[in-house]
């Protein structure tokens, strides 16, 4: 297997693990952790898209090493995606705090609107 | 039951990906770029003057995304603020009620300027090396977080932080407008002189934008942290 | 020079400033002024000659390297709809919101929601679309939770979890699109996907539609809608049901028809739409709470619009867009009035509103007009749009068109029966405790009445706007 193939497979495994825990966990904090794992998988997937064989970081230096540089665009996209993930996580945790205050539990089975 | 449904759904999705998706990733070992990235790598030194091409993409080529990104942080900080206002005590009070003791408190205060310094360095060198406004801002916020963790009597100047937050946001938009009404006639156009390639004062407006982003990120994060830990002075008073 | 960028920059700047304004009155005035400015801007663009779309590039860098925004007739018309709705809802909020709340933050989030709506309408870059879509989603989550009740937190978290999974799918789809096209500009991706392997294009399109379909409330992924729209503050329900889901729907369809034109998405979407109509209207029929009824009815109405837009004919698209405008007016009226029913009686069940129509004569009449239009009773706008949808379906000859007509007629019967049930309750004799519960100041406050009246004008006279409503879903 080549390097990007390994990375693609692990990215999709991370996404699947994250989605699985989102679906099966009853603890809301764990569900949010699952979401974050899936987020990581997506970020890994995006970075891998920019992979080039023997590529270096896309930074120009005085004593430049000859050879290709990796694609800078996916790295910029990942930066954005990380920040968005952070914002959503902060909001989700605040909501869980409010739910804990009002219901006294973070178990979705005890919260009417989130049971399934 | 939900485990079973979960396994079925995820299994089906995985099966679909393996049969349809994975076959498409087989021939994957390219030695040169065939995307817009190669054009960006070729034009970036002249167009942006930034040695770090990722920074050039984030701030200049896709600067509009970064404005949106800053807005995402802003709106989630607003949301945390709106929702956490009602949690004054009870939940995290015990967690943060403990005094860290003299050594930790003095230590965290002594560390504060150094952590802030690292954050500033990373922010201002964003166009030369990995880093920039987002990680820099996070590091600056961390300095405050360390202090919050060790002492319960910290009062955060909320008014000042709100003003900085607003000014940073407006500053970003103002730089955009300068571009719009300059000869370049384009929102967020990089019209400042590019300077000498690879030096600290180069890349036109990129370090300026990154400094603004760092201020914005740091103030949003300090806001979120202080709201979530109820460390800010007014909610403390209200709880007593 | 008026640049389309102002649509995004003006509400952003106002939102940044609003946080500094601690006084509720100041924040309200700032929000109103911003919405007025936006409406004026939208009017300017609506009147402008947009036979060729006006494009601007950001940072002077043309796509594929940079980001391009483009204003066409569809965007201008929807921008006008959004900014006027926003203006009316802000007007309504000033009497509806409880005074002790932190209103400045509420208005700031509402302005950000509007900025994000304009963003996803104007951008021609797939990743930029994602960023604005995220702002739209996050501000919706916050606004749903801002009712500060148990039910609203539950609804908001459910919405957040589903929405985040949708965003993940969208991001994977964007990655797949970038990998095959090497660009993020929509037109480049459309070209590259046309040449790519069909299963690859299919995977990309499916992930994207599934992701964005969550905000557009397309059938299998709309389970969040009834909870979120019914437990949000009523002004926000009006915004979410009034233009947010419609906007997401239109943008999603524009992308399906242009970027994913190589994949045949129209047929599956049409059947999903029919399922949505059937399930939404049936569920609405069984509800006892007014706002839940209205929320489920939105689910059905979205299906109706989606069905018309996916017929694949010009007439179908025209009818779908007209129905969208009608739904914005009618559903906003219904939700805004439902908010006042809850304020006046303190109850959410329909049966507690008995006799309310006599105590609030003007409000009651406005409610009935909007309900009649939603059902499609002749002189009102809703009749014309529904008739246009049915005739477009009959003329299109598309697969499932006749099945669709049957489902729509069935949905209309259900809709008529539950909305008439509400109207009958409003004008029946008040029973039991309701007799004394409905005392005190009755009619809505003046600003709220003005806002509702504005939406009602659209519902009554909208049919004159029919020739002005654009239908082109091009890039």
Higher pLDDT: B132 or B21? It is B132
B31 touches chain A (CB under 8 A): yes
Q: How far apart are CA C2 and CA C294, in angstroms?
A: 39
Helix axes C103-122, C24-47, angle to 10 degrees: 20
Is B57–A75 a contact, with Cβ atoms under 8 angstroms apart?
yes
Q: How many residues does chain C have?
A: 475
Q: How many residues does chain A have?
A: 116
- Contact C459/C326 with Cβ under 8 angstroms? yes
Domain residue ranges of chain B, discontinuous segments joined by +: 47-239
- Note the maximum CA span of chain C: 70
Residue A64 lies in a domain: no
Q: Is the pLDDT of residue B233 over 50?
A: no
C13 touches chain B (CB under 8 A): yes
Higher pLDDT: B30 or C127? It is C127
pLDDT score for B96: 59
A touches which chains (3+ CB pairs under 8 A)?
Answer: B, C
Alpha helix locations (H) across C217-258? 225-231, 234-239, 245-258
Mean pLDDT score, B68-93:
80
Mean pLDDT score, B64-73:
91
pLDDT digits (tens, 9 = 90+) for C37-79: 999 999 998 888 878 888 888 877 888 888 888 888 888 889 9
Residue A100 lies in a domain: yes
What's the pLDDT band for C115 if we cut at 50, 70, 90? very high
Chain B hits for A62, Cβ within 8 Å = 198
Least confident of B198-207, C151-160, C362-371: B198-207
Q: How far apart are CA C286 and CA C292, in angstroms?
A: 10
Query: Which parts of C11-128 are beta strand (E)?
Result: 54-57, 68-71
pLDDT digits (tens, 9 = 90+) for B8-57: 777 777 777 776 666 656 555 676 777 787 888 878 777 777 788 888 88
Higher pLDDT: B217 or B161? It is B217
Residue A60 lies in a domain: no
Query: Mean pLDDT, chain B, as a whole number?
Result: 78
Alpha helix locations (H) across A1-116? 3-24, 28-49, 72-103
Q: Is the dihedral of CA C48, C51, C52, C53 positive or negative?
A: positive
- Residue partners of B34: CB distance under 8 A and separation at least 6: C182
Q: Any idea what the CATH number is for the domain that residue A49 is in?
A: 1.10.287.3510
Closest CA–CA distance from residue C200 to any residue of chain A (Å):
15
DSSP state letters, A4-16? HHHHHHHHHHHHH
Closest CA–CA distance from residue B162 to any residue of chain A (Å):
18
Q: Is the pLDDT of residue C132 over 90?
A: yes
pLDDT score for C174: 92
User: C415-418 long-range contacts, Cβ below 8 Å, gap at least 24?
Assistant: C415/C281, C415/C284, C415/C297, C415/C300, C415/C374, C415/C375, C416/C375, C417/C285, C418/C284, C418/C285, C418/C287, C418/C293, C418/C297
pLDDT digits (tens, 9 = 90+) for C196-239: 888 888 888 988 998 898 888 888 888 888 888 888 888 899 99
Q: Which of A24, A35, A81, A90 to mutate to test the interface with C (most CBs of C within 10 A)?
A: A81
Chain B hits for C59, Cβ within 8 Å = 60-61, 63-64, 179, 186-190
Residue A63 lies in a domain: no
Class of residue C22 by CB neighbours under 10 A (exposed 0-12, middle 13-18, buried 19+): exposed
pLDDT digits (tens, 9 = 90+) for C152-209: 888 899 899 999 999 999 999 999 888 888 888 888 888 888 888 888 888 889 889 9
- Contact C415/C284 with Cβ under 8 angstroms? yes
C126 touches chain B (CB under 8 A): no
- Residue partners of B44: CB distance under 8 A and separation at least 6: A72, B50, B53, B56, B57, B61
- Which residues of B, range 190-229, sit inside 8 Å of C by Cβ? 190
Q: How far apart are CA C393 and CA C409, in angstroms?
A: 12
Peptide bond into C356 cis (omega under 30): no
Give the CB-side neighbour count of residue C249, counting CA atoms within 13 A. 36
Q: How far apart are CA B57 and CA A76, in angstroms?
A: 6
pLDDT score for B237: 41
| Closest-CA residue to C340 (of C55, C93, C171, C64) | C93
Task: Name the 3-class secondary structure at C30.
Answer: helix
Domain residue ranges of chain C, discontinuous segments joined by +: 264-475
Q: Which helix (H) or strand (E) holds C20?
A: helix C6-20
Q: How many other CB atoms are there within 10 angstroms of residue B31's CB atom? A: 10
- Residue partners of A28: CB distance under 8 A and separation at least 6: A96, A99, A106, A107, A108, A114, C157
- Contact B192/B183 with Cβ under 8 angstroms? no
| Closest-CA residue to C19 (of B225, B222, B158, B157) | B158
The total domain count for chain A is: 1
What's the pLDDT band for C147 if we cut at 50, 70, 90? confident
Q: Is the pLDDT of residue C435 over 70?
A: no
Burial annotation C4-21 (CB, 10 A radius, 16+ → b, else e): bbbbbbbbbbbbbbbbbb
């Amino acid at each position: 297997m080549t390097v990007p193939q390994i990375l693609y497979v692990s990215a999709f495994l991370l996404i699947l693990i994250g989605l699985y825990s989102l679906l099966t966990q009853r603890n809301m904090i764990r569900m949010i952790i699952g979401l974050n794992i899936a987020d990581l998988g997506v970020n890994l997937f995006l970075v891998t898209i920019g992979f080039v064989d023997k590529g270096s970081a896309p930074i120009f230096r005085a004593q430049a090493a000859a050879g290709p540089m990796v694609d800078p665009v996916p790295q910029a996209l990942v930066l954005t995606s990380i920040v968005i993930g952070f914002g959503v996580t902060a909001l989700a945790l605040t909501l869980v705090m409010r739910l804990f205050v009002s219901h006294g539990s973070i178990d979705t089975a005890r919260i009417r609107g989130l049971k399934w | 039951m939900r485990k079973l449904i979960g396994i079925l759904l995820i299994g089906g999705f995985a099966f679909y990906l393996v049969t349809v998706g994975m076959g498409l990733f087989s021939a994957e070992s390219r030695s040169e770029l065939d995307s817009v990235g190669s054009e960006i790598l070729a034009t970036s030194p002249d167009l942006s003057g930034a040695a770090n091409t990722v920074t050039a993409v984030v701030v200049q080529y896709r600067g509009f995304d970064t404005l949106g990104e800053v807005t995402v942080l802003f709106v989630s900080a607003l949301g945390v603020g709106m929702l956490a206002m009602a949690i004054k005590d009870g939940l995290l009070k015990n967690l943060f009620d403990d005094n860290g003791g003299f050594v930790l408190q003095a230590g965290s205060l002594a560390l504060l300027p150094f952590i802030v310094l690292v954050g500033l360095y990373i922010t201002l060198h964003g166009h030369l090396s990995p880093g920039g406004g987002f990680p820099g801002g996070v590091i600056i916020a961390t300095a405050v977080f360390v202090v919050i963790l060790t002492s319960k009597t910290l009062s955060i100047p909320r008014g000042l932080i709100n003003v900085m937050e607003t000014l940073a946001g407006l500053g970003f938009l103002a730089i955009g407008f300068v571009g719009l009404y300059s000869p370049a006639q384009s929102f967020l156009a990089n019209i400042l002189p590019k300077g000498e390639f690879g030096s600290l004062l180069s890349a036109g407006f990129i370090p300026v934008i990154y400094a603004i982003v760092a201020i914005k990120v740091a103030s949003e994060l300090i806001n979120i942290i202080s709201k979530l830990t109820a460390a800010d002075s007014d909610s403390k008073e209200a709880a007593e | 020079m008026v640049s389309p960028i102002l649509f995004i920059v003006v509400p952003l700047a106002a939102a940044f400033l609003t946080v500094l304004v601690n006084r509720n009155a100041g924040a309200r005035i700032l929000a109103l002024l911003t919405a007025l400015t936006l409406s004026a801007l939208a009017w300017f663009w609506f009147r402008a000659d947009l036979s060729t779309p006006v494009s601007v590039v950001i940072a002077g860098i043309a796509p594929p390297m940079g980001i391009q925004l483009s204003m066409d007739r569809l965007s201008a018309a929807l921008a006008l709809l959004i900014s006027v709705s926003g203006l009316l809802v802000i007007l309504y909020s000033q009497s509806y919101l409880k005074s002790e709340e932190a209103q400045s933050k509420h208005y700031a989030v509402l302005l950000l929601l509007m900025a994000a709506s304009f963003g996803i309408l104007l951008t021609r870059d797939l990743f930029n679309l994602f960023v604005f879509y995220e702002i739209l989603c996050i501000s919706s989550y916050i606004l749903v939770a801002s009712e500060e009740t148990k039910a609203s937190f539950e609804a908001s978290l459910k919405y957040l979890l589903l929405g985040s999974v949708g965003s993940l799918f969208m991001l994977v789809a964007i990655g797949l699109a970038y990998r095959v096209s090497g660009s993020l500009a929509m037109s480049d991706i459309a070209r590259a996907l046309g040449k790519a392997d069909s299963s690859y294009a299919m995977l990309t399109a499916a992930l994207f539609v599934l992701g964005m379909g969550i905000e557009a409330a397309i059938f299998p992924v709309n389970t969040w809608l009834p909870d979120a729209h019914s437990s949000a503050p009523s002004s926000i329900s009006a915004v979410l049901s009034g233009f947010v889901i419609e906007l997401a729907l239109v943008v999603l369809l524009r992308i399906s028809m242009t970027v994913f034109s190589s994949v045949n998405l129209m047929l599956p979407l049409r059947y999903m739409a029919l399922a949505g109509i059937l399930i939404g209207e049936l569920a609405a029929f069984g509800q006892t709470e007014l706002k839940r009824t209205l929320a489920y009815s939105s689910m059905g109405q979205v299906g109706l619009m989606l069905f018309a837009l996916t017929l694949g004919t010009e007439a179908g698209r025209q009818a779908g867009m007209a129905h969208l405008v009608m739904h914005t007016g009618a559903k906003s009226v219904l939700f805004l009035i439902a908010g006042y029913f809850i304020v006046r009686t303190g109850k959410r069940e329909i049966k507690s509103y008995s006799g309310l129509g006599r105590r609030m004569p003007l409000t009651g009449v406005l409610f009935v007009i909007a309900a009649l239009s939603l059902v499609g009773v002749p002189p009102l706008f809703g009749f014309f749009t529904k008739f246009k949808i049915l005739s477009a379906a009959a003329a299109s000859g598309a697969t499932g068109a006749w099945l669709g007509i049957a489902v729509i007629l069935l949905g209309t019967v259900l809709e008529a029966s539950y909305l008439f049930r509400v109207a009958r309750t409003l004008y029946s004799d008040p029973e039991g405790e309701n007799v004394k519960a409905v005392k005190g100041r009755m009619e809505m406050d003046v600003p709220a009445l003005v806002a509702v009246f504005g939406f009602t004008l659209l519902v009554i006279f909208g049919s004159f706007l029919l020739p002005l409503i654009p239908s082109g879903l091009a890039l």
